[in-house]
Structure 1
């Protein structure tokens, strides 16, 4: 702005800048707007100078973000002023304050047209700038012919013609009818003969828009574009002002090559030869230098040339040269260049006969998979996926599996899906495929969809030679102390069907198989329990010689679940118990599953159906993530193909775990049944109380929703009578009782207890909303996503969510929208940092309004102590020096605990393992003792080793001696207290134990200290 001579405007701007706060600024702006309004009402007394000054003030106020609802007519009237200063103000302020549909613009059309067709070049530029900025249909219809004449005029200066080309481009984008392709193609060809590079660059921008809309009419422009590229490549007649860091007009080169990509091919041999010579010169003359600006310009030209080479399907020699050049780029230090190199190499995979050339850079691409930048890692993953074939599949899949253990959680789902697809498409033999999928489930169980393990089961069932091998591998994985629930599913299914093939192997008798599978029962969800029951029935069927003891054990399990609240589990237990007593008829009824019909893999079909450029897919995902709020609202929508959505809510996220088709649904149901007996669930129950979590979290590859509390045959963490002990141990933060008119569905404390052991499930549910959780934990950092699902056909309003954090946690919850649309879902990420050890728990204060009901609940967040622990195994050489170095309080605390829940050592070990405290067998020679260790992570302690010893009395299982040691006094005390409260039996009606119980005196009848492990105490 030219502010010289306008003292009032300068003073106003100074006043605004000197305001101490927003309120003072608002008062000053209101005062000035009132003064301007008063002046404009008395229009006769306002001079051109004052009107210009007031209009400038209005524009400044508008730029500050305030509404300016008057004075528009005064701004438009300045357009017709005879002098440049007033006319300039009128054009600038009008283009800023008014949009294309404003009525006042109609009053200015004639004045603007007069300036365009006039002789004053300065006024022409102002008018063209206004038309280009505002656009609009009325401007297009009225002024486009005049702008076209101005562009084609040989008497106008290049500056005016350049602005005319850009103005016509804007009008064409708003209203394509303003340019008639039939009559304009010859003019466009004529414009490309322009010698002035400014006009030529603007005209090329117009050409790109025209050929993008309809290239057929502009074939005559192709030779002209090639000649322009030749001129620039040879640096012929290029003024210095259009040379950027030694590169002749890089913007014009990019636009010319972009325009050529809209034409299917170039048939003329001379034109094609000339173009390839230019492209060859660009490829040969581009390299990475230290100057960033020159790199940006040269690489813009280079990557556009690469795109044109791929578009024209050049000969293999040039393709090889392109790949070699990109190979240099993916090895440089600059991350932006590496990203572009990987992205363009991925695009080149779409061209035939370059895959073998790209394979030469496989080692460098694998190195990029470990790059600090996640964008580069994604591009490397896309490239590895695209370049994989039979020759290198084994190496690439093994690299992906190795990378999976350290990959970001954001990439694990895509990584596991692509590894599974590659293993299936290019497996050298089926045993290798089974190995890969089992490793995949073991390393990334939460991110492995059901489709993947369904496919493994199909392969194993259909190939008899593979069945013994798959059974052996499944048995090996069950030996691991902590395995994912998906691994329990697939191992139990395979051993139930084919475990009898291993009867002669050590450790694979029916009783041993039952025991190793049954150990996993207390920690799995309802859907997995159903598979385990089927496995037990299969074990009974395959026994060559009846084992009364094993038979009674399995019958006891069936008896227990005959009264299960879940209809599916109950019906299986009742039917299996009845069938298992029919003797020889059992083998006929529970026959082996028939072979699956051969059909295309659901995973490969999914990949083919969504065959889009992976680089573009990732860019779309990235743009979708860059929202003002990180909360994502997904509404219920009908798919385009007419297929009804699965469940009441849908969340679109690749890869999806849903399948279509009656055959696919029936076969997957048969997988979950394991025996061909269909246990029908009451349809009325299924429709009246839908489980939203299956839809909210299912596409995110979370295993079956834990809609009921964990059930344990031995009562470790099952039933209402045992919930209070663990509930008090893990949720010491008090939560007030609510008196809402809307009552929750299910027991809130039991849901919290279940989520203390699992990372996904339902935290809260009532008739209106369901709150689900999915969490990831890495060291002392955690990321939890709250899924807020509206179950009603009406919106939930006045939604508020506030985290009340304890002092030892740092929590940051993303913005929660105030309204959740009908039958929609909201995702709210919660970032968690553990600062120091503590048993206190954060509380979510959540409220919403539905109709006239206002609901407010306070829910404990399962960010508890054991979430920041990581199981580990230590050898005696590692354990004993650590144990001896931690001598005495406060780093080593010992306490005798009475009133312990009677349980076997196996049950106690399972309990510790479920809380990430790894029991290490063989460290204590006393068979009645347990030694456990874990690694605890917090910001203050970092990764700290924690050691624990439990000495039990075989004569009295209700008491024991516990010793806990770590390098931090607070951690030792907190860990001792939480373990003690886990072990102590408490009636459901009892009160919470004291937070700091006094150590009791030792009992005389515990294990004799003389018999303890030497050097341990």
Structure 2
């Protein structure tokens, strides 16, 4: 009987493994589930053994990923079985199938308690494991006292007591209020006298949880912890099975030292002396060896010992020992050890009088900024920031500025903020501070927040002696061929206020300053123009009676912007024209700005607000609450290559695909009792059943008719022959022959830019083309950054935009020559006329030496750039969904070949394409709903509703429904989403970095930051 039962399970598993596809597997599982359900339902008086057979099969089916909504009662009933095999199955399956809130668990509490208080140790272990795994409140209330008695019982074997300690720990963590721990101080102290290291380790885990919440009750445990550490350090009475690579029970050592850190201090001088001797032994006995496992264990003990040394405020000699040991770790080849060395040095900055000792390793820490591992570079940056003071600020800030040339995107904003804060806090003089901030803006303008240049303006305004120097520096930066917009802001403001202080210097006359500033006007954003107009007004005020030609030029500019669409720009232009006619009154109105009131730096305030959180990452929780670290500053993440903020217009829904009969294709689905069922299609009528209307009959598959097809969409079958520009816009442009090979994958770079608004579009050994874009409604502004990476100029530079018919695009003038190691910016204005998936192409060519290079690059002005997510409530969604009934406004298609992914992954993917998920609109947990608004001149702001139905048993297919008020938009959006779902492996990941061997040999560093490329080229 037993053999046939096990043979039946083996045959079933073999059948599952031999299934050729998912459908065969599902049929075999359904057959087996039907058989098991029938046995449980129809045959009364099943023995425990028979139940065990079928419950094993049920568990196996559950592990395959199928829902098992029956049989829980039979599994729970096996807990009461008298024999171990059946009882074991009951405990295992109950742990897997039921959660802490399941009603069936109430039926098992008495059986579990009987096993706990019984005499069978095997049954006790099974019961304790179940209670610990589930950890529900009812279990805690009913069984915690019994578990406590089991832990303190002297008659139980160590194996049972160890499990009891871990079970009680789980119950306490989940429900601290229902676990009675009052009066446990003496019992815990007795448990720490345990000689068995297994029970002692489990009890120490429980003690750590207890003292973390309330250490005052457990003072009697402190000397016991010190004795345990001494015993382990001297390797006294440690069984071989608890010695790991020659280290006595490293797990127990770590837990014990962690428990000690929750107590404020060790008062007893003898205990303190013993503790320091143990720590000294650990510090001196730790070294880096070739065996990785031994390294891991010894370093786990070492770094916990370092944390305890800092907590106890040890003598300076021991602190010096700790820092010296960490300094050795900075030179180890293993990156994990280098990381831990830097991290623990940062922690040690919390201790007084240690900063001077850490300064001895400043050169090694600076070297770590060039480490290949970005995590190590981040820790080195944190450490440099924390150890900086007046004595070394100048050296550290200069190193940070130099490192800024080659730093990763992910670090540049944090690096810029920290350099600015250090320059302000520890500046030896204000002129040096101005130099640092201007260099910072010049090197990393894209990553410099407005607070930084606001602060330098405040310093210059409030210090008269600094004004001439700042004006000279601002004028010098304006001579550079490529200048970031933030630098233009600073220079325009300073020169507008103080350029008259430079009147006697060559090249600093009002006419020359106006000319060089006005050259920057075509390259700046709309928000920058008002600042330049204010500067022109200041220049006009000072030259009104002496230079009529300059006055006429400035007035002409003001008149040009009188009708500007931007309200701020228009208002300033109109007001400055009116003010300039008032003669002498203009001098008083446009006088120098008064001094700013003394106020706290916004940068330092931001740093202090975030220090507490970062200190918790580098020290234990109790110490982090008592004092915050000044070594770490976190910044608001604003990566240049990040997605723009999620907007507010569009609706997408994903629901579970029904296993419909082919004869019911085209029928609708309705909701009844929380499930979806097939219904006959009915004409839409007003109904109180909103969900029924939501899932009303859907449109047939396929593209819309001829009247719906986009006139210019070649992919949809346009009428007539396409012109050459449209062919180029649709042709694959990655496979091109040139005398030089691109760095990185062009297609991957393009796909990444479809999801983000800045990054590198193309790069080869001579040039890097970066993109930074801004999108608003149906308009876009893209800036192309053309960077020459070499010491010779690029000649015959040409750029031609080949736009598809649905985009109106205008590219500013591209210079024929790009100077050596310089960067030029070429703004590109885009207007979306109508929905389409066609792509624009950049036809770019240049000459370097004897090489003529020509590339055609797709521009990421794709359909999702003109989407803005919008959150839609149920009251807004249902009426709109009902009103868009049938083709061509509502289209449905089954999409096959989708890479399997969870609903959360699919939701993230849709969010990345600016489709806002609206949870809760569908009661089916396998459905998603999202919303967005599409902008174009023809559609204006058009609400889009998308619904996707997924099949949890087959993630490679789904059914998608898209509904909008425009037939062309419905088809184009449906096809666009389908393309992304099918091409997930390439679309949803960032562009792959070029392998090291693919990098060209070049005297300069390849920089992947388009906005700050010049910083990397001119170092």
Structure 1 residue 221 and structure 2 residue 221: aligned?
yes
Q: Match of 1:375?
A: 375
Aligned match of 1:749 in 790, 801, 808? Answer: 808
CA offsets, 1:223-260, max 9 Å, x none?
00110000000000000000000000000011111111
Q: Match of 1:238?
A: 238
Displacement of 1:69 = 0.8
**Stretch of structure 1 that moved more, 461-470 or 169-178:** 169-178
CA offsets, 1:512-559, max 9 Å, x none?
111100101111112211111111111122238611211111111112
Displacement of 1:501 = 0.8
RMSD over aligned Cα, in angstroms? 4.2
Q: Match of 2:165?
A: 165
If asked which structure has higher relative contact order (CA below 8 Å, sep 6+), I would say: 2
Q: Distance in 2 between matches of 1:621 and 1:393?
A: 16
Question: Which secondary structure does the structure 2 equivalent of 1:96 belong to?
Answer: helix
Q: Distance in 2 between matches of 1:3 and 1:732?
A: 74
Change in 2 beyond 3 A, CA 1:788/1:389:
farther
Displacement of 1:146 = 1.3
Q: Match of 1:579?
A: 579
Q: Match of 1:849?
A: 945
Q: Match of 1:484?
A: 484
Q: Match of 1:962?
A: none
Change in 2 beyond 3 A, CA 1:765/1:490:
farther
Question: Which secondary structure does the structure 1 equivalent of 2:65 belong to?
Answer: coil
User: Given that residues 727 and 749 in structure 1 are in contact (C-alpha distance below 8 angstroms), is that contact kept between their aligned partners in structure 2?
Assistant: no
Change in 2 beyond 3 A, CA 1:95/1:783:
farther
Change in 2 beyond 3 A, CA 1:593/1:821:
farther
Structure 1 residue 334 and structure 2 residue 393: aligned?
no
Q: Point out 4+ residue stretches in structure 1 off by more than 4 angstroms.
A: 2-5, 615-622, 630-636, 702-712, 750-766, 779-789, 791-800, 850-855, 857-861, 937-945
Question: Which secondary structure does the structure 2 equivalent of 1:182 belong to?
Answer: coil
Change in 2 beyond 3 A, CA 1:390/1:456:
same
Change in 2 beyond 3 A, CA 1:635/1:85:
farther
Displacement of 1:299 = 0.8
Displacement of 1:613 = 5.3
User: Given that residues 775 and 865 in structure 2 are in contact (C-alpha distance below 8 angstroms), is that contact kept between their aligned partners in structure 1?
Assistant: no
Q: Distance in 1 between matches of 2:294 and 2:74?
A: 47
Q: Distance in 2 between matches of 1:941 and 1:127?
A: 59
Q: Match of 2:846?
A: none
Change in 2 beyond 3 A, CA 1:781/1:367:
farther
**Stretch of structure 1 that moved more, 702-711 or 515-524:** 702-711
User: Given that residues 631 and 814 in structure 1 are in contact (C-alpha distance below 8 angstroms), is that contact kept between their aligned partners in structure 2?
Assistant: no
| 1:669-688 to 2 correspondences below 5 Å | none
Question: Which secondary structure does the structure 2 equivalent of 1:6 belong to?
Answer: helix
Q: Match of 1:815?
A: 909
Q: Distance in 2 between matches of 1:113 and 1:446?
A: 64
Q: Distance in 2 between matches of 1:105 and 1:754?
A: 74
Displacement of 1:70 = 0.8
Q: Match of 1:960?
A: none
Change in 2 beyond 3 A, CA 1:568/1:286:
same
User: Given that residues 165 and 203 in structure 2 are in contact (C-alpha distance below 8 angstroms), is that contact kept between their aligned partners in structure 1?
Assistant: yes
Q: Match of 1:837?
A: none
Change in 2 beyond 3 A, CA 1:567/1:631:
closer
Q: Match of 1:1008?
A: none
Displacement of 1:178 = 4.1
Question: Which secondary structure does the structure 2 equivalent of 1:219 belong to?
Answer: helix
CA offsets, 1:886-932, max 9 Å, x none?
xxxxxxxxxxxxxxxxxxxxxxxxxxxxxxxxxxxxxxxxxxxxxxx
Q: Match of 1:197?
A: 197
Q: Match of 1:355?
A: 355
CA offsets, 1:871-898, max 9 Å, x none?
xxxxxxxxxxxxxxxxxxxxxxxxxxxx
Question: Which secondary structure does the structure 1 equivalent of 2:945 belong to?
Answer: strand
Displacement of 1:174 = 2.0
User: Given that residues 80 and 111 in structure 2 are in contact (C-alpha distance below 8 angstroms), is that contact kept between their aligned partners in structure 1?
Assistant: yes
Displacement of 1:485 = 0.7
Question: Which secondary structure does the structure 1 equivalent of 2:571 belong to?
Answer: helix
Q: Distance in 1 between matches of 2:50 and 2:477?
A: 85
User: Given that residues 343 and 615 in structure 1 are in contact (C-alpha distance below 8 angstroms), is that contact kept between their aligned partners in structure 2?
Assistant: no
Structure 1 residue 141 and structure 2 residue 237: aligned?
no
Q: Distance in 2 between matches of 1:783 and 1:356?
A: 52
Aligned match of 2:801 in 730, 740, 743? Answer: 730
Change in 2 beyond 3 A, CA 1:614/1:752:
farther
User: Given that residues 115 and 123 in structure 2 are in contact (C-alpha distance below 8 angstroms), is that contact kept between their aligned partners in structure 1?
Assistant: yes
Structure 1 residue 69 and structure 2 residue 163: aligned?
no
Displacement of 1:821 = 5.8
Displacement of 1:181 = 3.5
Structure 1 residue 308 and structure 2 residue 308: aligned?
yes
Structure 1 residue 522 and structure 2 residue 618: aligned?
no
Displacement of 1:91 = 1.1
Question: Which secondary structure does the structure 1 equivalent of 2:101 belong to?
Answer: coil
Q: Distance in 1 between matches of 2:172 and 2:248?
A: 29
| 1:20-39 to 2 correspondences below 5 Å | 20-39=20-39
Q: Distance in 2 between matches of 1:762 and 1:463?
A: 44
| 1:436-447 to 2 correspondences below 5 Å | 436-447=436-447
| 1:984-995 to 2 correspondences below 5 Å | none
User: Given that residues 614 and 633 in structure 2 are in contact (C-alpha distance below 8 angstroms), is that contact kept between their aligned partners in structure 1?
Assistant: no
Give the count of matched residue pairs. 735
Q: Match of 1:608?
A: 608
**Under a length normalisation based on structure 1, what TM-score does the superposition of the two structures give?**
0.66
Structure 1 residue 289 and structure 2 residue 289: aligned?
yes
CA offsets, 1:133-152, max 9 Å, x none?
11211111111111111111
User: Given that residues 709 and 750 in structure 1 are in contact (C-alpha distance below 8 angstroms), is that contact kept between their aligned partners in structure 2?
Assistant: no
User: Given that residues 523 and 827 in structure 2 are in contact (C-alpha distance below 8 angstroms), is that contact kept between their aligned partners in structure 1?
Assistant: no
**Gap regions ≥5 residues in structure 2:** 620-631, 649-755, 759-771, 784-796, 815-823, 835-854, 882-889, 894-905, 920-929, 931-941, 947-961, 977-993, 1003-1019
Displacement of 1:21 = 2.1
Q: Distance in 1 between matches of 2:860 and 2:214?
A: 49
Change in 2 beyond 3 A, CA 1:788/1:289:
farther
Q: Distance in 2 between matches of 1:60 and 1:126?
A: 20
Q: Match of 1:187?
A: 187
Q: Distance in 2 between matches of 1:253 and 1:372?
A: 33
Change in 2 beyond 3 A, CA 1:150/1:398:
same
Question: Which secondary structure does the structure 1 equivalent of 2:563 belong to?
Answer: coil
Q: Distance in 2 between matches of 1:782 and 1:283?
A: 58
Change in 2 beyond 3 A, CA 1:257/1:22:
same
CA offsets, 1:78-107, max 9 Å, x none?
111111111111111111111112222222
Change in 2 beyond 3 A, CA 1:348/1:621:
closer
CA offsets, 1:410-440, max 9 Å, x none?
1111111111111111111111111111111
User: Given that residues 809 and 828 in structure 2 are in contact (C-alpha distance below 8 angstroms), is that contact kept between their aligned partners in structure 1?
Assistant: no
Displacement of 1:499 = 0.6
User: Given that residues 536 and 554 in structure 1 are in contact (C-alpha distance below 8 angstroms), is that contact kept between their aligned partners in structure 2?
Assistant: yes
| 1:461-480 to 2 correspondences below 5 Å | 461-480=461-480
Q: Distance in 2 between matches of 1:585 and 1:48?
A: 102
User: Given that residues 431 and 469 in structure 1 are in contact (C-alpha distance below 8 angstroms), is that contact kept between their aligned partners in structure 2?
Assistant: yes
Question: Which secondary structure does the structure 1 equivalent of 2:944 belong to?
Answer: strand
**Under a length normalisation based on structure 2, what TM-score does the superposition of the two structures give?**
0.66
**Gap regions ≥5 residues in structure 1:** 637-695, 713-725, 736-747, 767-778, 803-811, 829-845, 862-936, 946-1017
Q: Distance in 1 between matches of 2:474 and 2:229?
A: 63
Change in 2 beyond 3 A, CA 1:544/1:730:
closer
User: Given that residues 811 and 829 in structure 2 are in contact (C-alpha distance below 8 angstroms), is that contact kept between their aligned partners in structure 1?
Assistant: no
Question: Which secondary structure does the structure 2 equivalent of 1:562 belong to?
Answer: helix
Q: Distance in 2 between matches of 1:760 and 1:62?
A: 56
User: Given that residues 706 and 761 in structure 1 are in contact (C-alpha distance below 8 angstroms), is that contact kept between their aligned partners in structure 2?
Assistant: no
User: Given that residues 188 and 207 in structure 2 are in contact (C-alpha distance below 8 angstroms), is that contact kept between their aligned partners in structure 1?
Assistant: yes
Displacement of 1:215 = 1.1
Change in 2 beyond 3 A, CA 1:319/1:82:
same
Change in 2 beyond 3 A, CA 1:355/1:175:
same
Question: Which secondary structure does the structure 2 equivalent of 1:749 belong to?
Answer: strand
